[in-house]
Structure 1
């Protein structure tokens, strides 16, 4: 019985949580009980509500995905809210994990928390090497503090609290809200609506030249589960596709056109800003542990994501 695990997943109803749930269901391991929570289950900014949640489920392990997130404009105008809410949430989850004897916590960071001015590719040692981009400094500093707290809990109490840093994630159950979505779900919804309205022009903002690394949510889910079971370093680990798998926004648009079988034309609105040209992350540390891990082909992952949205657009987060 001592080998039995109860794994609590905060933010379990989102993109990554749903992907983890799907992978776990396909495995059917008998000694693991997984509990996927959403914001409806408790306000993690409230210490007592969080404590009651842990007392109810008695987790031995935690995957902490929950966070206050938002689009660029919301971040810029609410940096204090993003800072305070995420600090409260993260502090409660880690402190109560310590108080209740949780054996391991894996928290989720983001490549957007890295310094605004840095060298590429970025790696795990560079998180604290300078200020983050001013547009989302509240969110970034709150997330960075998870790494600081993990090290402090380990140093003072011997806790195995660690964190992962994914590159851009996409897949089924994404956020398609035009105000807060990331580039892939945003373009999926846009092209879906164009086709639905009988349009023949798919307009993409910018030149299409910037490069990005995208990881399919089901691949990330498998890596998250590996980290939970096998990775025993307090230092964070970047979960990213290889540097050679970077794609341009133009290539992304072309893959979406193929996946939708759209017969119209792609137009790039070069009056709109491109943003950063590249944000390359190194996965050398991951490859040291998992040299043979196979990432899903980008075209296949895009097709599966598009097909899911076509089937579920009425109930998706639009």
Structure 2
């Protein structure tokens, strides 16, 4: 059993970031190093397959971290989630159970599990409070991924009840930023829009066609803000309830597309393919609990989009096709 007292974590203790090269994990590593942590470790997917239970146990045994952030996951946009639900359910469950079981076995003192706002019911009252979990049906296009993330939340809660470990969960809203997945088939909406409009400008296209009607509303949080919230929660929060992390404001997908067009310099027309699914009509998180603890997002969408597009331009030759 661990007795947690809110306050700064020991910067000299080992901190394992599972998924340290991904969008979220790399941001957490940057934030930890900025905060003075001197022993941050991680392993790439080629070095450690988190679906391999024995390998995960060997890694955690060898490294014996005091702190752990579980940011590794199989993720994708609406098309990928809808097309490969078995993969999203099975692989995420394997990753979570393996890492959480190994962390429990070797006594990781402080752990944060990261999920997604898709855990909440499709028609949950807006903005969505933490209490909405498990109160209604999920959005069908990503229900498999959502179920896996819900299982992770419940495992963290179970460990707290059974072992008394000071583990917590956080549920970020839609994320964007450097190191995102910009692939045409596997990306989320915002990086997909960035790539689509960029290629339209590059190719001199007069129009861009996006999925759906453009009417669903989405909230976007810069991944560096999330990383800051992760460290804040680890040092200031200890409770069984998952904590929403977001900005508390949303915009329609068509408004987001206009922003991306402006950032990329696209001046043509935008069309909408209404034969494609929209997904959840609105997904805005109630972040009042996190704000009551003393944390609030700082990166506005305008500057965040601009810096993300700059990163995309600098790294596009190495991006997934």
TM-score norm. by structure 1 comes to: 0.90
2:203 corresponds to: 197
Asked if 1:253 corresponds to 2:257, the answer is yes
What is the correspondence of 1:114-193 to structure 2 with a 5 Å cutoff? 114-193=120-199
Asked if 1:312 corresponds to 2:311, the answer is no
1:18 corresponds to: 26
Q: 2:266 aligns with which of 262, 265, 271?
A: 262
Report the 3-state secondary structure (helix = DSSP H, G, I; strand = E; otherwise coil) of the residue aligned with 1:106: strand
Provide the rounded CA distance (Å) in 2 between the counterparts of 1:164 and 1:157: 20
Is the Cα contact below 8 Å between 2:77 and 2:189 reproduced in 1? no
My pick for the range that moved more, 120-129 or 130-139, is 130-139
Provide the rounded CA distance (Å) in 2 between the counterparts of 1:48 and 1:239: 33
Provide the rounded CA distance (Å) in 2 between the counterparts of 1:312 and 1:224: 26
**Per-residue Cα deviation, 1:107-161 (whole angstroms, up to 9, x for no partner):** 1111112123432221111222234233333322221111211121111110112
Q: Residues 191 and 39 of structure 1: is their aligned pair in 2 closer, same or farther, counting only changes over 3 Å?
A: same
Cα distance, 1:170 vs. partner? Answer: 0.5
Cα distance, 1:182 vs. partner? Answer: 0.8
Q: 1:281 aligns with which of 285, 292, 297?
A: 285
Q: Residues 77 and 204 of structure 1: is their aligned pair in 2 closer, same or farther, counting only changes over 3 Å?
A: closer
1:84 corresponds to: 90
Provide the rounded CA distance (Å) in 1 between the counterparts of 2:317 and 2:137: 40
Give unpaired runs (5+ residues) of structure 1. Answer: none
My pick for the range that moved more, 74-83 or 161-170, is 74-83
Cα distance, 1:271 vs. partner? Answer: 5.3
Is the Cα contact below 8 Å between 1:203 and 1:267 reproduced in 2? yes
Provide the rounded CA distance (Å) in 1 between the counterparts of 2:257 and 2:140: 29
Q: Residues 255 and 133 of structure 1: is their aligned pair in 2 closer, same or farther, counting only changes over 3 Å?
A: closer
My pick for the range that moved more, 272-281 or 39-48, is 272-281
Provide the rounded CA distance (Å) in 2 between the counterparts of 1:41 and 1:228: 27
1:226 corresponds to: 232
Provide the rounded CA distance (Å) in 1 between the counterparts of 2:186 and 2:281: 21
Is the Cα contact below 8 Å between 1:174 and 1:317 reproduced in 2? no
Is the Cα contact below 8 Å between 2:246 and 2:297 reproduced in 1? no
State the superposition RMSD in angstroms.
Answer: 2.1
Report the 3-state secondary structure (helix = DSSP H, G, I; strand = E; otherwise coil) of the residue aligned with 2:241: coil
Report the 3-state secondary structure (helix = DSSP H, G, I; strand = E; otherwise coil) of the residue aligned with 1:274: coil
Is the Cα contact below 8 Å between 1:206 and 1:270 reproduced in 2? yes
1:297 corresponds to: 300
Give unpaired runs (5+ residues) of structure 2. Answer: 1-8
Is the Cα contact below 8 Å between 1:60 and 1:103 reproduced in 2? yes
Provide the rounded CA distance (Å) in 2 between the counterparts of 1:255 and 1:77: 28
TM-score norm. by structure 2 comes to: 0.90
Provide the rounded CA distance (Å) in 2 between the counterparts of 1:205 and 1:141: 25
Asked if 1:70 corresponds to 2:76, the answer is yes
Is the Cα contact below 8 Å between 1:17 and 1:36 reproduced in 2? no
Task: State how many pairs are aligned.
Answer: 312
Cα distance, 1:81 vs. partner? Answer: 3.5
**Per-residue Cα deviation, 1:252-306 (whole angstroms, up to 9, x for no partner):** 1222122123333334445544333211210011111125x34211111011111
Is the Cα contact below 8 Å between 1:124 and 1:236 reproduced in 2? yes
My pick for the range that moved more, 175-184 or 62-71, is 62-71
